[in-house]
Amino acid sequence: MLSKVQIIHLPKIEDSRGNLSFLEGNSHIPFHIKRAYWIYDVPGGQVRGGHAYKELHEFIIALSGSFDVLLDDGKNKKKFTLNRSYYGLYVPKMIWRSLENFSTNSLALILASDFYSEDDYFRDYNVFKNQV
């Protein structure tokens, strides 16, 4: 459900030597982190994602640059632009999501609630929508 999606602001320790942000699983974000992956060197105009997860929860951060996250719970759609490293987007399970409009040199870090499993993917939008 899109109502469970939320932007979560992370601690930001400002310092003349440079800023520092951090997060801890089950604390700043509502799940235990089992996996991290990142998307980078995205050619202009390319779209990543385009799937939903049956059980996986994710937290998406723009560590560098900016990109848009398009979400669709089968009924409603919403777009978020991520462009700062001190907040991120919590995306629960059963939400169709795409990442697009990547700026040059952008870096997307995704923290996930479980290990990689192809069985957990909906890769066909119609199958996802029927399940909703």
The window from 19-27, 48-56, 79-87, 124-132 that contacts ligand TYD (CB under 6 A) reads 48-56
How many chain residues interact with ligand TYD (CB under 6 A)?
A: 7
Cα 82 from Cα 100, distance rounded (Å): 11
> Annotated catalytic residue: which of 9, 28, 32, 51?
51
Main-chain phi, psi angles of 10, to 5 degrees: -100, 160
Residue 93 binding ligand TYD, by CB under 6 A: no
Q: Is 51 a catalytic residue?
A: yes
Residue 116 binding ligand TYD, by CB under 6 A: yes
Contacts of residue 78, defined as CB under 8 A and 6 or more positions apart, other chains included, come to 2, 5, 70, 71, 72
CB of 109 to ligand TYD, least distance (A): 12
| Residue 9 or 34 having the CB closest to ligand TYD | 34
Under 8 Å between Cβ of 55 and 93: yes
Q: Tell me the two tokens of residue 89.
A: 């987007």
Catalytic residue IDs? 51
